[in-house]
Homo-oligomer: A and B are copies of this chain.
Amino acid sequence: MTADDIRRYLERAVALAREGMTASKGGPFGCVVVKDGQVLAEGYNRVTSDQDPTAHAEIVAIREACRRLGSFQLEGCTLFASCEPCPMCLGAIYWARPAAVYYAGTRDDAARAGFDDAFIYEEIDTTGAERSIPFAHVPVPEATAVFNDWKRLSAKQSY
């Protein structure tokens, strides 16, 4: 992929961010998934219009790309995001396993526009009880048993 291709796909991701913002679908974020030199899927943020806090541009585009491929993996795909993926979207990217990610804005740009991306990155490094949303680990014996049964399962599809 050439530098021109990369800039072109990032500009498309930003155009999607503007499209979603202008249509009052959600925040100003867009994403494009490319495979074999073709756009496989596009998305923009739909959090407020879909009333779905997980409907970030990257999640929307990843789900659509997977639907089109009939796969839960984005092998050989490249993801272009108008802004640095937040921890939720970073996690989704790692589970989908595309080949590479390019982004235009940064988590600090997003913070200056009023979004929590940088804050959530900071919270990851705090321990459960110190978080602004407290996380508590309460062991339950059956939780260990279900993992052991998964390990023993012969007919399973890993991911």
A48 touches B72 (CB 8 A): yes
Interface residues on A, range: 35 or more
* Residues on B with beta carbons closer than 8 Å to the beta carbon of A28: 146-147, 149-150
A32 on the interface (CB 8 Å rule)? no
Name the distance in Å between A151's Cβ and chain B's nearest Cβ. 6
A138 touches B52 (CB 8 A): no
Name the distance in Å between A10's Cβ and chain B's nearest Cβ. 5
0/1 string, A38-72, CB within 8 A of B gives 1? 00000000011011111010010011001100111
0/1 string, A109-122, CB within 8 A of B gives 1? 11011101001110
Partner of A53, one of B121, B136, B159: B159
Write 16 A-B pairs (CB below 8 A) sorted by A numbering.
A6-B138, A14-B146, A24-B157, A27-B159, A28-B150, A47-B72, A51-B72, A52-B66, A53-B62, A87-B87, A94-B120, A97-B133, A102-B137, A104-B138, A106-B137, A113-B150
